[in-house]
Amino acid sequence: MGTSRPMLWLVATAAFMQMLDTTIVNTALPSMAVSLGESPLRMQSVVASYALAVAMLIPASGWLADRFGTRRVFVAAVVLFSAGSLACALSRGLLQLVASRVLQGVGGAMLLPVGRLVVMRVVPKTEFLAAMSFVTLPGLIGPLIGPTLGGWLVQIASWHWIFLINLPLGVAGGVAALRLMPDLRQLVGRFDALGYALLAYAMVAVSLALNALSSQQPRHAAVVILIVSGLASLVAVPWLTYMLVFAPAALIGMYGWMPGTSGRNVSSKALMAASRSIERTTSRRAAAREPESNSISTSGYRRRALRP
């Protein structure tokens, strides 16, 4: 692990930055509400927007890394995270702050998954467990010290500094990523945009519904619509995968063509594959019977030769 230790430090720092910003704003919400002239109850969207953005982009981070390269995606994630942090510090209203937190979450969503992907592909198997422990530990420490660090920064300075502290780490992380992060790529197929959209909507809808239930005056009709539509989208993801991947293969295997289509190309290919399989099976059986017939004819010849 000695040769890859600088890269592991880079991934561990990225994990710390991502997880720290999930909780560092919790103790600063009252001060932020006073500064922005908003009700403290509305400031919960500042926390939820970052968490939802991170949760939505994590499933797509692996495909992006394989398509565009791990170094390029990791550097872009650091730049987006730093730009979002700067935009949060410069925000003058709640909507602007929420939008900046979404931008920050887009960058933070790709930091840890892409870093772990690089560790999984670069570190040898004998050192993989130790390397993953080294990378994961800072991510566990970040949420623990986040509220304390946020409250301390608000007391000695202002709430703006809970975002400004990310800028020097972001600049150093971007420069280090250009030098230390390997550029790994793999061949990928078409991005499943429909499945990803359904999964993202399900996560957002259920999270918003649960957040609305915790408010003082929840709108029950909107909560029910969000929960039902979110759960329906979540169930539709595996169903859609089955219908698009496994069901056509099963229909072609049973009928040689897929009902609802012209079926010419599909059926012809299926029949040709079936005929080849039958020919191979027949040739194997013939080859298995040939030694047996040879042995029978040889034994009969020997018996005739031994007769007087």
pTM of the entire structure? 0.70
Residues 176 and 197 in one domain: no
How far apart are the C-alpha atoms of 235 and 112, rounded to whole Å? Answer: 27
Q: What is the pLDDT of residue 75?
A: 92
Other CB atoms within 10 Å distance of the CB of residue 275: 10
Q: What is the pLDDT of residue 244?
A: 62
How far apart are the C-alpha atoms of 104 and 145, rounded to whole Å? Answer: 19
Residues 178 and 50 in one domain: yes
Which amino acid, 19?
M
How far apart are the C-alpha atoms of 279 and 247, rounded to whole Å? Answer: 27
What region, left, alpha or beta, does residue 92 occupy, with left being phi > 0 and alpha being psi -120 to 50 degrees? alpha
Residues 269 and 151 in one domain: no
Residues 115 and 219 in one domain: no
Last residue of a domain, one of 168, 186, 204: 186
Work out how many domains the chain is built from and give that number: 3
Residues 119 and 207 in one domain: no
Residues 166 and 243 in one domain: no
Residues 137 and 278 in one domain: no
Range of the domain at 161: 5-186
Residues 169 and 226 in one domain: no
Q: What is the pLDDT of residue 81?
A: 93
Cα R_g (the chain), whole angstroms? 30
Residues 57 and 156 in one domain: yes
DSSP characters for the chain? --TTHHHHHHHHHHHHHHHHTTTTTTTTHHHHHHHHT--GGGGHHHHHHHHHHHHHHHHHHHHHHHHH-HHHHHHHHHHHHHHHHHHHHT--SHHHHHHHHHHHHHHHHHHHHHHHHHHHHHS-GGGHHHHHHHHHHHHHHHHHHHHHHHHHHHHHS-TTHHHHTHHHHHHHHHHHHHHHS-----------HHHHHHHHHHHHHHHHHHHHHTSSS--HHHHHHHHHHHHHHHHHHHHHHIIIIIHHHHHHHHHSS-TTS--HHHHHHHHHHHHHHHHHHHHHHHHHHHHHHHHHHHHHHHHHHH--
Residues 52 and 147 in one domain: yes
Q: What is the pLDDT of residue 267?
A: 43
Residues 169 and 196 in one domain: no
**Torsion sign over Cα 299, 302, 304, 308:** negative
pLDDT in tens, the chain (308 residues): 555 788 889 888 888 888 888 888 888 888 888 888 888 878 888 888 888 888 888 888 888 888 888 899 999 999 999 999 999 999 888 889 999 999 998 998 888 889 888 888 888 888 888 888 888 888 888 888 888 888 899 889 888 999 999 899 889 988 999 988 888 888 777 877 887 888 888 877 877 777 666 655 556 777 778 788 888 877 776 776 666 655 555 545 554 444 444 444 444 444 445 455 555 656 666 665 555 444 544 444 444 444 44
Q: What is the pLDDT of residue 78?
A: 92
Tally of residues, the chain: 308
How far apart are the C-alpha atoms of 226 and 205, rounded to whole Å? Answer: 5
Residues 17 and 55 in one domain: yes
Q: What is the pLDDT of residue 66?
A: 87
**Torsion sign over Cα 37, 38, 39, 43:** negative
Q: What is the pLDDT of residue 270?
A: 45
| Nearby residues of 84 by Cβ (< 8 Å), 6 or more positions away | 100, 101, 102, 103, 104, 105, 106, 107, 108
Last residue of a domain, one of 158, 186, 214: 186
Cβ neighbourhood burial of 61 (10 Å; 0-12, 13-18, 19+): buried
Last residue of a domain, one of 255, 275, 295: 255
**Angle 44-68/29-36 helices, nearest 10 degrees?**
100
